[in-house]
Structure 1
Amino acid sequence: MRPYTEITAEIDNAPAGPQIAALFDFDGTIIAGYSVFSFLREQVRRGDLAPSEIVATVDAVARFGLGKKDFATLMTLSAQSMKGLKEDDYLDVAQKIFERDLAKKIFPETRALIEAHMRKGHTVAIISSATPYQVTPCANYLGIDKVSCSTIEVKNGIFTGELGGPLCFGVGKVEAALTIAKEHNVDLADSYFYSDSTDDIELLEYVGKPRPLNPSTKLREIAGARGWPVRTFHSRSNRSSAIGLTRNIASKVSLVGSVLAGLPIWALTGSKQEARNFSMSLFADISSAVTGLKLDIVGEQNLWAARPAVFIFNHQSDIDVMICAKLLRRNFAGVGKAEIKQMPLIGMAMEYSGIVLINRSDRRSAIKAMEPLIDRIRNERISVAMAPEGTRTHSKHPKPFKKGAFHVAMQAGVPIIPIVIHNAMDVSPKGDSVYYPGTVEVEVLAPIDTSRWTTANLDKQIAKIEALYRTALDRSTAVE
């Protein structure tokens, strides 16, 4: 069962087809808070703003929030602050800001709504008063290709300091929705609009299915008077973040504690592997309990169908380590980055538990470090868990796979078993230090025989497995 089914029930039971649109505001609706602050901080850090511009912009943002300044004035100041900058440079900055700051602020519940609409084949779009630089990286991440925003003028690749046209604000959002409706044969009377603010009241009143999300006090009152259904998500609130940091710390403490609890078993039995098995099973249970992690597993039988094996997983989050421990339980080792050694106690605990820490920047050293894993697979019947991407990614689809995990499987003569992790970023977004409680969907695919693999056909075999991941990960938004 997918997470958030209670939230998506209305959509799951709705008619299908592109004639129905699902329109989403951005700030406060898709992400918690306001993206403008992340961009303002970056401009200050880069020295793009003079002190007087910083004061004027902060004042404008504050006054707009209090209803004392109009949106056009705020956007004009924003455009002026970008005068003379290269758009290409700003596009790169925008992507970095998304990956560093905004990706972790996406409400998983809103993402679930977006994916539910996509499964129904609805026309999904973001209509935002923000700029494309704030919205487009997130839209790309969510798989939304229709975005209407306020624009800033660019000539010869340079920002002129002027607005690029009418603002996508108030009535401007209605105009944007009408354009989408005309281009895609959408019936707005049967369509949805999700927003948190009374600034969007015109479009909320225009569509047939207004859906206030995380509404302001004023919008909540209007929604109550008009009978509009309201939802408020707390998963990315400041309080949730504070508790989430505590969960993160508790999970790491549980690793150290679990390793210490296994030492007497090693002393009494003489078996380091039995002690590791006890420690990793204990860590899996304690850490998932304190973080609120639950798994919805499809293909669980494949975890035990062919051991030893090389288990590979797409790497979305640092909580993937916990997920693998909960899935594999015993007789497995793993591979991690050498930087973990610098973490007091945690590095030692990871190495004790069977994690091989490698220098990813030194290919020759990394290959040599993994040679003992091959011997352990052959001689001790130990499985190995590896992330072939080599690092975490913000994309729904994995980065190109590196060959290390596949060489290990070939040389050890064991199968590859793909683990597809769908939404680990919901409980531990990349770039965030907090753990949120939630359910992660996991698919364990059938073992893949490597006995006929050769160096010559390895690229072809890896491409096939990458395609399996793309297919599995696309199911969450596949049209029903």
Structure 2
Amino acid sequence: MHPYTEITAEIDNAPAGPQIAALFDFDGTIIEGYSVFSFLREQVRRGDLAPFEILATVDAVARFGLGNADFTTLMSLSAHSMKGLKEEDYLDVAQKLFERDLAKKIIPETRALIEAHMRKGHTVAIISSATPYQVVPCAKYLGIDKVACSTIEVKNGIFTGELGGPLCFGVGKVNAALALAESNDVDLDNSYFYSDSTDDIELLEYVGKPRPLNPSNKLRDIAEKRGWPVRVFKSRSRKSVMGLTRNIATKVSLVGSVLAGLPIWALTGSKQEARNFSMSLFGDLASAVAGLKLEVVGEKNLWAARPAVFIFNHQSDIDVMICAKLLRRNFSGVGKAEIKKMPLIGVAMEYSGVVLIDRNNSKGAIAALDPLIDRIKQDQISVVMAPEGTRTHSKKPKPFKKGAFHIAMQAGVPIIPIVIHNAMDVSPMGDTLYYPGTVEVEVLAPIDTSDWTTANLHAQVSKVEALYKAALDKSTAVGE
């Protein structure tokens, strides 16, 4: 079962088609908290704000939050603080801030709602009072191509310090929704709007299906009186010492699992049996500590053809324990050379049979992988690798490198794709916290490599990439 089936049930059972819109506020609805603070911190770090501008902006934000200042004043201050900056530079900063700060704040349950609406073919859009620099990188990541925001004036590529037109706030959001409806043949009477704030009361009242999400106390009271269904998602608000403890404890559990396997080596004389015991224990122990649960489709494919080269799309550092929990025995992995510098962890990883390679040295990395081919042939040991070579924020994988495919081809073993759908829900890239949750995993059927050659390898890799894209894009609604 899909981990968010209960959350998406209403949408899964709703009529399909683009005539229905699903409109989402941004701050507090799609992401936990407010994106403006990430941008304010960056402006301070870069020295773009004078001390008096910092004080004025902080004061305006505080007064707006208390209801003692209007939104126009706040946005005017923000626009003035950007005067003279190049928009091109700011676009680059915006993308980096998304990857560093905002991506990890995306609320998994909200993303599940967005994806459910997309599966139904609904017209999905973000309507936000924030600027495009805050919203657009996230919209692209989520696959949303319709965005309405407040804008800041740009002339000849330079911010003028003035607002770019009417703000997308209050009635302005209704106007944005009407424009969207007109250009996309949307029926707002049968459409949804998700928001956390009474600042959006006009649009909540306008659409046929208002959906308060993580509402303020004031909006919750209004919703209760009007019979609007309320949803509260807390998975990204649990930022506590426990989350950090989970992260540290999972890493420590690797060392403990390795130590627990040493007596097996001493008693049996088999290092591989000790590794099998340690990796199986690590997969179970680390998952329990991290609060990780797995929903696995195609589990039989894990054992259908061994040895094999298992590949996985790399979304999170929690992928390591996912693979350990799935594969359990007789496998080796590949990691980055930087792991060697981690006290105890590096030693534990190498003991476990993981080959650590320098990603900046292509020739050296290839040479380091050669012994894996011998281990597959002689010891019947499978290999697990992330062909992207590094983690990515997106469900869309980065282009695959060919190392794993070369190994499978030369060893004469199949490729078995492991498709990880939502590891970032438990451990977002760039976050130091672990959030308890369920990750959906698909194990695809083994892919025969016996007819692969150097000449057709590029085409074969492209076919495997297409399998991942199809698996990650396909509908996973109940009954499908």
| TM interval, short-chain normalised | over 0.9
Match of residue 453 from structure 1: 452
Summarize the Cα distance change of 1:477–1:76 in structure 2 as closer, same or farther, 3 Å threshold.
farther
Distance 1:187 1:14 in 2: 14
Deviations 1:11-31 (A, max 9, x none): 111111111111000000000
Match of residue 153 from structure 2: 153
Distance 1:304 1:172 in 2: 57
Deviations 1:282-330 (A, max 9, x none): 0111111111111111111111111111101000000000110011010
Distance 2:310 2:91 in 1: 37
Match of residue 314 from structure 2: 315
Matched, 1:114 2:152: no
Distance 1:152 1:244 in 2: 38
Matched, 1:463 2:462: yes
Deviations 1:418-467 (A, max 9, x none): 11111111111001111111111111111111121111111111111111
Deviations 1:250-284 (A, max 9, x none): 11111111100000000111100000000000011
Distance 2:395 2:84 in 1: 34
Match of residue 189 from structure 2: 189
Secondary structure at the counterpart of residue 324 of structure 1: helix
Secondary structure at the counterpart of residue 416 of structure 2: strand
Deviation at 1:399, TM superposition (A): 0.5
Match of residue 242 from structure 2: 243
Deviation at 1:159, TM superposition (A): 1.0
Percent pairwise identity: 85
Q: Which amino acid counterpart does residue 383 of structure 1 have in structure 2?
A: S
Residues 132-281 of structure 1 mapped to structure 2, 5 A cutoff: 132-237=132-237, 239-281=238-280
Asked whether the equivalents of residues 84 and 160 of structure 1 are also in contact (C-alpha less than 8 Å), the reply is: yes
Match of residue 406 from structure 2: 407
Deviation at 1:87, TM superposition (A): 1.1
Residues 328-339 of structure 1 mapped to structure 2, 5 A cutoff: 328-339=327-338
Deviation at 1:386, TM superposition (A): 0.3
Matched, 1:91 2:91: yes
Q: Give the gaps of 5 or more residues in structure 2.
A: none
Asked whether the equivalents of residues 2 and 477 of structure 2 are also in contact (C-alpha less than 8 Å), the reply is: no
Asked whether the equivalents of residues 116 and 477 of structure 2 are also in contact (C-alpha less than 8 Å), the reply is: no
Q: Using the TM superposition, name which of 245-254 and 310-319 deviates more.
A: 245-254
Distance 1:82 1:243 in 2: 39
Secondary structure at the counterpart of residue 230 of structure 2: coil
Residues 50-89 of structure 1 mapped to structure 2, 5 A cutoff: 50-89=50-89
Distance 1:98 1:190 in 2: 32
Distance 1:47 1:273 in 2: 55
Secondary structure at the counterpart of residue 440 of structure 1: strand
Q: Which amino acid counterpart does residue 295 of structure 1 have in structure 2?
A: L
Asked whether the equivalents of residues 98 and 138 of structure 1 are also in contact (C-alpha less than 8 Å), the reply is: yes
Distance 1:44 1:377 in 2: 53
Distance 2:100 2:374 in 1: 39
Distance 2:242 2:180 in 1: 41
Secondary structure at the counterpart of residue 169 of structure 2: coil
Matched, 1:100 2:100: yes
Matched, 1:474 2:449: no
Asked whether the equivalents of residues 118 and 477 of structure 1 are also in contact (C-alpha less than 8 Å), the reply is: no
Asked whether the equivalents of residues 388 and 404 of structure 1 are also in contact (C-alpha less than 8 Å), the reply is: yes
Matched, 1:27 2:27: yes
Distance 1:167 1:8 in 2: 32
Match of residue 419 from structure 2: 420
Summarize the Cα distance change of 1:476–1:432 in structure 2 as closer, same or farther, 3 Å threshold.
farther
Distance 1:365 1:160 in 2: 51
Secondary structure at the counterpart of residue 284 of structure 2: helix
Asked whether the equivalents of residues 223 and 229 of structure 1 are also in contact (C-alpha less than 8 Å), the reply is: yes
Distance 1:426 1:161 in 2: 38
Asked whether the equivalents of residues 243 and 435 of structure 2 are also in contact (C-alpha less than 8 Å), the reply is: yes
Deviations 1:324-382 (A, max 9, x none): 00110100000001111111111111111111111101111111111111111111000
Distance 2:193 2:242 in 1: 31
Deviation at 1:402, TM superposition (A): 0.7
Secondary structure at the counterpart of residue 388 of structure 1: coil
Deviation at 1:242, TM superposition (A): 3.1
Summarize the Cα distance change of 1:474–1:241 in structure 2 as closer, same or farther, 3 Å threshold.
farther
Secondary structure at the counterpart of residue 336 of structure 1: strand
Match of residue 383 from structure 1: 382
Q: Which amino acid counterpart does residue 273 of structure 2 have in structure 1?
A: E
Match of residue 41 from structure 1: 41
The TM-score normalised by the length of structure 1 is: 0.98
